[in-house]
Structure 1
Amino acid sequence: MTSPEKFTGWIGHDKESTKGNLKWEEFTPKTFADTDIDIKISHCGICGSDCHTLRSGWGPTHYPICVGHEIIGHVVRVGKSVTRFQVGERVGVGAQAGSCLRDDCEECSNGRENHCLKMVGTYNGKYADGSRSSGGYANYTRVPAHFAVKVPQAISSADAAPMMCGGITVYAPLKKNGAGPGKRIGIVGVGGLGHFGVLFAKALGCDKVVGISRSQSKEKDVLAMGADTYIATSEDKDWKKKHANSLDLIISTVSSPDMPLDGYLRLLRTNGQFIQVGAPEDKMPAIPAFALIAKGCKIGGSMIGAPHEIEEMLRFAAEKKVKPVIQQRRMEDANQAVVDMEAGKARYRYVLVNADHNDHARL
């Protein structure tokens, strides 16, 4: 089996696309290159980035657009130069589908392709040949093979899909900033990203994992995921004082001008770290200088992960049996799933499923 000349997917045409206005239409994928593979999509997670992009929240979107960058499927076409994958293999694609890959690029040559100045997003991006990138709310996708990853047999496709972006977005900063035995970790915002933060921090063997959210509505869920403590910032007036100087590392998956950054920094121990992964459509709050100075703490950021980091995360998830909390939705119901995602109904990640492209499909 091979791929069709044109692919079909859910296409957004304007800023109103998140309101149930996606259209199921044909589109032309990037020009096929010898370094590319085509993937028959079985599953695609719904990420907050999809919604930001569909409504031009992060800046002007290039419409028409097919979003989706938590893709799992099977290889159906392999370029002449590709040796790493074979037709029929199950693979995943995350939020990146290109970079310069030059030997003289400091980022690409050191395994930091996600920081390359010529990074191409899996959708809303532009390749060097002028082709536009398109995502996984579709029947097929085409990407450079370098940015596809192998999926361990022990992980189901439905569980692997949201790890392609949601999982790696929190796994990478946890690993890079020392999460493990002896460390106390806080996860701000326990949604699609944050619930992965709790799961991975626990699997990494951290001494203490704390879920931090505005209300108590998710407390039972978060404790069931393995968190040791839960902080509801809008319902406990003394949370800053009660939990002061208790955490080594905070991963923030939320972003808002009125987020209580000063309070979060009070939770850090001396030399603690606050890592932001949630990407805002508006401004972040001002940084309270004395909160940094008094404790010598650091504020940083992190963005997804390179392909080798995604594969490392998947192997770790398979070994530790990390299982995300997901709700599967039919690909044909993508419009309603996006509307529900915007309404905050996901518990904790929606995954679109192409029923006729499942794991047991004969290729």
Structure 2
Amino acid sequence: MSTFKACEDHSVTFNGWASTGTAELKQWGYHPRPLGPKDVEIEISHCGICGSDIHTMTGGWGAIKEEVIVGHEIVGKVVAAGAESHHKVGDLVGAGAMVDACGECKDCKAGFDQLCLNRAFTYNDLFKDGRGGKTYGGYADRVRVNGEYVFTIPKNISLAEAAPLLCAGVTTYSPLIQYGAGPGKSVGVIGIGGLGHMAIQWAAALKCDEVVAISTSDSKREESKKLGATKFVNSKNEEEMKAAAQSMDIIICTSFAKDADWAALLSLVANNGKMVLLALPETPLSIGAGAFIQRQVSMVGSLIGGKKIVREMLDFASEHNVRPWIETMPMSDCNAAIKHVQEGRPRYRVVMETGAESKF
């Protein structure tokens, strides 16, 4: 039984696929909170599957006590808009991993609204704007969110391709921009998957001198070149690791093995360089301080991106023809799609389709 009845619009029910702590999703309906003046209601056509969804639904990041509808790579059509929303009915839009922030704090004003203490993530979170309510994600037919965190999809990007840009895209684009990727820089990307294949494309489009794909096997060596990598390093190959030592100004870490040798991976970072951690492990990292101090290397975290950089990212993707490599599956087969992702088989992002696009 939901504890948020006072914040529910009982005139409508949204239907989705929910988890209660396992990767097995079941059909479930909920009442969204009433449409606010800045809100929009989106009829969902596509939703990408992110690793965060699986960490959440399986309880890897903490036990969940109530039904959770995950999914934060949401694309569809606006079917209702509040009076103060800058969107209109019929707009083709997307929503990413956060759906609200205060807009007034220091972080919001600096463009880091993803760090706002009053932010609301797209699912398994609470709205903190005084109206109450719980957030539910995009494995569903519809969603209602603050229109400030809803983005117009460029006309030359398909709705299916747009979905992963709203999380995997901005998550990898944002730190590259923040830490100065571009001409004169060498960028490495650890993990060639849903995030990593985007990071390679961004770095290539930003005209970095070198774009190095780093993986635990050779299986993606040729695909990495097609994505824009100028070099490939197998992290299990001692000779390749030695040859690449201290050569990369920025390394984007999108995934890692449970037995990852962090000292070895940090040895790839150039003096005064940065390793940017995007992957969020379920257990603590273990690494000696000397790996950082002796060469003034730093490891920093990066969390998605604020609304300003999401808009910038979409424009950049449109202009430079950066697109995710996707596989599409029906949302009605979401459990099969989740299994496909868990087995590590996609090249490189799975996007689920509701069938709504045929009506647009």
TM-score of the alignment, normalized to the shorter chain, above 0.5 = yes
Query: Could you tell me which residue of structure 1 aligns to residue 3 of structure 2?
Result: none
Aligned-residue identity in percent: 38
Q: In the alignment, is the contact (CA less than 8 A) between 1:184 and 1:209 conserved in 2? A: yes
Amino acid at match of 1:229: K
Query: Could you tell me which residue of structure 2 aligns to residue 183 of structure 1?
Result: 185
Query: Could you tell me which residue of structure 1 aligns to residue 223 of structure 2?
Result: 221
| TM-score calculated relative to the size of structure 1 | 0.93
Structure 2 unpaired stretches of 5+ = 1-10
Q: Over the residues paired in the alignment, what is the CA RMSD in angstroms?
A: 1.5
In the TM superposition, residue 60 of structure 1 has moved relative to its aligned partner by 2.3
For residues 196 and 260 of structure 1, the distance between their equivalents in structure 2, rounded to whole angstroms, comes to 24
| TM-score calculated relative to the size of structure 2 | 0.93
Amino acid at match of 1:126: L
Q: In the alignment, is the contact (CA less than 8 A) between 2:17 and 2:140 conserved in 1? A: yes
Summarize deviations over 1:195-237 as a string: whole Å, max 9, x none: 1111111111111101111111111211111111111112x12
Q: In the alignment, is the contact (CA less than 8 A) between 2:191 and 2:256 conserved in 1? A: no
Query: Could you tell me which residue of structure 1 aligns to residue 238 of structure 2?
Result: 237
Structure 1 unpaired stretches of 5+ = none
Query: Could you tell me which residue of structure 1 aligns to residue 5 of structure 2?
Result: none
Query: Could you tell me which residue of structure 1 aligns to residue 19 of structure 2?
Result: 12
Task: Map 1:18-97 onto structure 2 (within 5 A).
Answer: 18=23, 21-82=24-85, 84-97=86-99
For residues 65 and 264 of structure 1, the distance between their equivalents in structure 2, rounded to whole angstroms, comes to 35
Query: Could you tell me which residue of structure 1 aligns to residue 359 of structure 2?
Result: 361
Task: Map 1:1-363 onto structure 2 (within 5 A).
Answer: 5-13=12-20, 15-16=21-22, 18=23, 21-82=24-85, 84-101=86-103, 103=104, 105-128=105-128, 129-234=131-236, 236-255=237-256, 258-286=259-287, 288-355=288-355, 357-358=356-357, 361-362=359-360
In the TM superposition, residue 66 of structure 1 has moved relative to its aligned partner by 0.7
- Indicate the SS of the match to 1:328: strand
For residues 123 and 351 of structure 2, the distance between their equivalents in structure 1, rounded to whole angstroms, comes to 17
Amino acid at match of 1:5: V
Summarize deviations over 1:58-84 as a string: whole Å, max 9, x none: 1122421111000011100001221x1
Q: In the alignment, is the contact (CA less than 8 A) between 1:272 and 1:298 conserved in 2? A: yes
For residues 308 and 289 of structure 1, the distance between their equivalents in structure 2, rounded to whole angstroms, comes to 35
Distance change >3 Å, CA 324–CA 51, structure 1 → 2: same
For residues 160 and 257 of structure 1, the distance between their equivalents in structure 2, rounded to whole angstroms, comes to 31
For residues 78 and 59 of structure 1, the distance between their equivalents in structure 2, rounded to whole angstroms, comes to 34
For residues 135 and 250 of structure 2, the distance between their equivalents in structure 1, rounded to whole angstroms, comes to 35
